[in-house]
Structure 1
Amino acid sequence: MVKQVRAARTRQALVRAAAEVFAADGYAMASLPSISRRAGVSAGALHFHFASKDFLAREVEDAAADLVQKMAGEARSSSGTVLESLVGTTCRLLVAMAADPVVRAGFRLGSDPSRKNGPGVLAWWRTWVHERVAEAREAGELADDVSPEGAAAAIAAATVGFEVLGGADRDWLCEERAAQFWAFVLPRLAAFPQQAMATVTGAGGVR
C-alpha cells in the first residue's frame, strides 16, 4: 500500500511538472530530463511511469480535459440559462488557465503544431461551446439574426486567444477580462440583452 501511494504521488508530481514545462516551453522544446528534475524524481522513475514524452503529454491533456469538463459541469448546474453557463464557464476557465498549469498546458498542447495526436481538450472545448450555443438557440436565448455557428466560432476563438495572450501577459487570464469580453458580446448575441447582461457584474466578473 505504501508503495502504491508513493507511486501515485510520483506520477502526480511528474504530470504537474510536465504541465509546467509544456506550458512554458511548448511540446517540442520540453525535455524529459527537465521534467524529471522539476518533479524531483530520477529519469528512471519517469520512464517507469511514462515510456515517452508523448505518453506524458497525453496524460497532461487527459488531466486538463477532466478539469475543464468538471468546471463546465459545475457552471452549468449552477446557472439559470444556457448563456449564463457560457459566461460562467469562460470566466472560470480563464482563472484556471492562470492558476493551474495543467489546464494551461492542455490548451497549449492542443494548438502545438509539433503534436501529432490531435487537439485534445481544445477539440472538446470547441464542441462544448458549439453545443451550448445550439442549446441557447433552441431555448430562445439567441437574437434571431445571430448565427449559432458564427457565435460558437467567435466564443471558442476568443477564449483560446486569451490563453495565447496570457502566455506573455498573465493579466489576460482573469475574470475581469472575461467580463469585458461578455459585456461586449452579449448585447449582440442575446435575445434579451438586459437579462443576459445581469450575469455580468461590471468589470469584476460574474455572479
Structure 2
Amino acid sequence: MIVRAAAEVFEESGYHAASVAKISAKAGVTQGALYFHFKTKQAIAQEVMHAQSSFVQIPDEGRGLQRLLDVNFYLARELQRNVLFRAGVRLAVEQGEIGIQDASAYQGWADQFHEILVEAREEGELLADVDEREFAQVLVGAYSGTQLYSKVATGSVDLIERIASLWRYLLPGIATAEALARLSVRPNWAEPRG
C-alpha cells in the first residue's frame, strides 16, 4: 500500500517534490506509520525502484527471440500507461539525484532477458558468437536509452516505434537467417501496415 502510493507520488511529482507528507496522505497512513516501515524518503524511493518489475505482469507466452521482442513491446506499452511501473523506471534513471547508486533494477531486467536468450539459443535462433549474458546487458542499456530519449522527445508517445527501430538494427547482429525470416518486429497488438 505504501509502496504503491509512493510510486504514484514520485511519478506525479518527481523525487525532490515528493514529500513524506504527500506519500503518507496518498497511502492513508500517518507519517509515523510510514517512518516505521521506511526510515527515509530515500529508502522509500529505493523500494519503489526495486519493485518496478512487480508492477507489471510479464507475459509468459512463446519462446526465444519472438518472446523477447514481445516482452520488450509489452514493457514499452506498460511504460506508456502504467504509472507505477513508470515511477520505478523514473527513479532508476534519476537515482543519482536521489543520492544512491544501485544497478539492481537494471540487473533484474538483464537477468530476465538472459533467461529468454538462453531459450533462443536452445531454439537455434542465435548466431554462434552471441554471448547471451553480454547481449542481455547491452539490451538493457539500449532499451533504457531508447526509452529515455522517447520520454524527452515525445513524452513516450513514439516509444513503441522507437523500440521497433532498435530491434530492426539489433536483430541482424544476433539472430540466424532462419530466425530473422520468421520474427515479427511489430507488437502483436499493432495493426498491420497498409
Fold match (TM-score > 0.5): yes
Q: 1:21 and 1:56 mapped to 2: Cα distance?
A: 11
Q: 2:16 and 2:132 mapped to 1: Cα distance?
A: 36
Return the offset for 1:116. Answer: 3.3
| Matching residue within 170, 174, 179 for 1:189 | 174
| Matching residue within 30, 41, 65 for 2:53 | 65
1:180 touches 1:203 (CA, 8 Å); kept in 2? no
Q: After the TM superposition, which of the residue ranges 114-123 and 87-96 deviates more from structure 2?
A: 114-123
2:110 touches 2:140 (CA, 8 Å); kept in 1? yes
Report the counterpart of residue 61 of structure 2 in structure 1. Answer: 78
1:171 aligns with 2:153: no
Q: Spell out the pairing of 1:135-174 with structure 2 (5 A cutoff).
A: 135-148=119-132, 151-168=135-152, 169-173=155-159
Report the counterpart of residue 75 of structure 2 in structure 1. Answer: 93
Q: 2:30 and 2:77 mapped to 1: Cα distance?
A: 32
Q: 2:18 and 2:53 mapped to 1: Cα distance?
A: 21
Report the counterpart of residue 180 of structure 1 in structure 2. Answer: 165
Return the offset for 1:48. Answer: 4.9
Report the counterpart of residue 32 of structure 1 in structure 2. Answer: 20
Q: 1:179 is paired with a residue of what secondary structure?
A: helix
Displacement over 4 Å in runs of 4+: 37-42
Letter in 1 for 2:90: R
1:120 aligns with 2:104: yes
Report the counterpart of residue 11 of structure 2 in structure 1. Answer: 23
1:162 touches 1:172 (CA, 8 Å); kept in 2? no
Q: 2:134 and 2:107 mapped to 1: Cα distance?
A: 17
Return the offset for 1:29. Answer: 5.2
Count the aligned residue pairs: 186
Say if 1:132 and 1:58 are closer, same or farther in 2 by CA, change over 3 A. Answer: same
Segments of 5+ residues of structure 2 without an aligned counterpart are none
Return the offset for 1:55. Answer: 3.5
Letter in 2 for 1:59: E
Q: 2:71 is paired with a residue of what secondary structure?
A: helix
Return the offset for 1:117. Answer: 6.6
Deviations 1:149-179 (A, max 9, x none): 5532332112212332344322143x33323
2:127 touches 2:174 (CA, 8 Å); kept in 1? yes
Q: 2:191 and 2:118 mapped to 1: Cα distance?
A: 24
2:106 touches 2:140 (CA, 8 Å); kept in 1? no
2:70 touches 2:187 (CA, 8 Å); kept in 1? no
Segments of 5+ residues of structure 1 without an aligned counterpart are 1-11
